[in-house]
Amino acid sequence: MVMTATDFTAPAPAAKLGRLAANLQARNFEVVIVQTGAEAKAEVLKRIPDGTRIHSGKSKTLEDIGLFDTLMGSDEYDFVRKQTLKLDRITQRREMVKLGATPDLMINSVQAVTEAGQLVVVSASGSQIGAISAGGEKVILVVGSQKIVADLDAAFQRIQEYVFPYEDARLLEMLGIHTAWTRTLILEREFTPGRTTVILVRDPVGV
């Protein structure tokens, strides 16, 4: 496989976004297209019924659109990370995993999505993958249009060349450790109708 220089930050053309939406719907995903991160945040919040137990991965996308701060800062939301951030990630790791394993709603992003509609998530610990794949009763994925790539080879190229270096530098600054790419989840389609909603954002959000 020959790697070529690619701009992984540019927004996708409207026509490409429309084709992707159709392909995702054909794979049994619910799809919403919005213009901005603020609109994406609003779409997520209106899909959270009262009393919902919410979890999310550590997502730059959710931070960029202001959703993470809203969930953390409001008593209105039962957000698992309010509990897990108080725990020791070494001595209480098992408890952290259990708390996030079966939320009513899992909110996350992806590192790449192919034009055909395959959603790619990679992780070091894998803590978010179980809830996205099966543990969460409902899943919402917020995806900036800059994450659309031609195919799975391009998805892995995007992760290796662009996403991984960013995440490694961020973790090194925050915790003084390097990250690792140890797990990969590819969502080919949704088995349960209505379970997973993909919010496509025309403006680039996240990494």
pLDDT, greater one: 58 or 33: 33
Beta strands in the chain (DSSP E): 30-34, 53-56, 78-79, 105-108, 112-114, 119-123, 138-144, 148-149, 183-187, 196-201
pLDDT, tens digit (0-9, with 9 covering 90-100), for 49-84? 999 999 998 899 999 999 999 999 999 999 999 999
In eight-state DSSP terms, residue 86 is T
CA dihedral 22, 52, 80, 45 (to 10 degrees): 50
Interatomic CA distance for residues 1 and 19, integer angstroms: 26
What proportion of the chain, given as a percentage, has pLDDT over 90? 92
Q: For the chain, what are the domain ranges?
A: 14-201
Interatomic CA distance for residues 197 and 119, integer angstroms: 12
Class of the CATH domain delimited by 14-201: alpha beta
The answer on pLDDT for 40 being more than 50 is yes
